[in-house]
Amino acid sequence: MEILDNFNLKNFNTFHVSAYARYFINVTDISSLKEALAFAATKELPFMLIGQGSNLLFRENYPGVILEMNIQGKKIIDEDGDSVLVKARCGENWHAFVQWCLGNTCYGLENLSLIPGNIGAAPVQNIGAYGVELCEVMESLEAVEISTGQLKTFSNADCRFSYRSSVFKEELKDQYVIYSVSFRLSRKAEVKIDYDSLAIALQKLSVEEVTPELVSKVVCEIRRSKLPNPGRLGNAGSFFWNPVISTEDFSRLQKNFPDIVSYPQGDKVKLAAAWLIEQAGWKGFREGDVGVHQDHALVLVNYGQGTGAQLVTLSEQIRDSVQDKFGIVLVPEVRII
């Protein structure tokens, strides 16, 4: 196990901001994972797991141990009629895994194409997109208990999934490291295209023409049209969560802002954070090398030499501005370190 000192994380976060980790370890198997966890404990230092760094913003140097989760491996482990069980280890790239499943006629993940990150991070926040959530297709996962080093299996129910959350984000936060995830997929090419933008994009095609492969392709096209490529422009996609408020609060807000963009959520209403930010005047704002994307008000960007601290300051200014104008508090979706 190689341990690197004072390691620059610029190439390990999609904002591409410079920040130095006291120690950096590339974890390639379960043995090196346990060694790395033991090293952090011996040094009495905090540690953090990263995959592609697609949801991270380092505002300063990290004083502990960064573990790059690079444990690879995926395979079909069981079949029963049209049902197929596929298992992938935590370091596998999510989108590449979705494409691998499609290539092996294992369907059910196509709506989740092009979501950034690795397999291990997916269950933590129950990723979802275009009408499908991970909890609908995940059967079980294996995770290493940090305090004991033991490998434990969690069923779907054990994970207590909810909207963009799980037990690993709540009660068991920082207690386990996800090692592998198993998905119950199907050999049947049944698609889910009820989500508005997906349905609109495919409306001219017959049912027979809409394949899982086509759904994946269209999802990728929609996602690319909405978000800038972090390989070309430093960003982490949507910076803030879309706020959810009561119907009563929404009615009061709508009286003052009749054009406010909203989406019913049962007895709640979800607001479009991008609309709020744009109405507060931030779309296209730039100061030095940080700013708000000119086409996507929800995306904060690093134009080159911006720092994490500058991006955090900008996000706080946006938050305060939206709160002053609408009385709504935006919460970062990006994890600020």
Other C-beta atoms lying within 10 Å of the C-beta of residue 83: 12
Check residue 76 and report its DSSP letter.
E
What does the H/E/C string look like for 218-258?
HHHHHHHHHCCCCCCCEEEEECECCCEEEHHHHHHHHHHCC
Indicate which residues carry an active-site annotation: 164, 238, 333
Q: In what order do the strands lie in the sheet with 151-155?
A: 74-80, 83-89, 176-186, 138-145, 151-155
Report d(CA 195, CA 243) in Å as an integer: 20
Report d(CA 272, CA 274) in Å as an integer: 5
| Residues 249, 253, 256: CA angle, nearest 5 degrees | 155
Q: Are strands 20-27 and 3-8 parallel, antiparallel or unpaired?
A: antiparallel
Alpha-carbon dihedral sign for residues 31, 32, 37, 39: positive
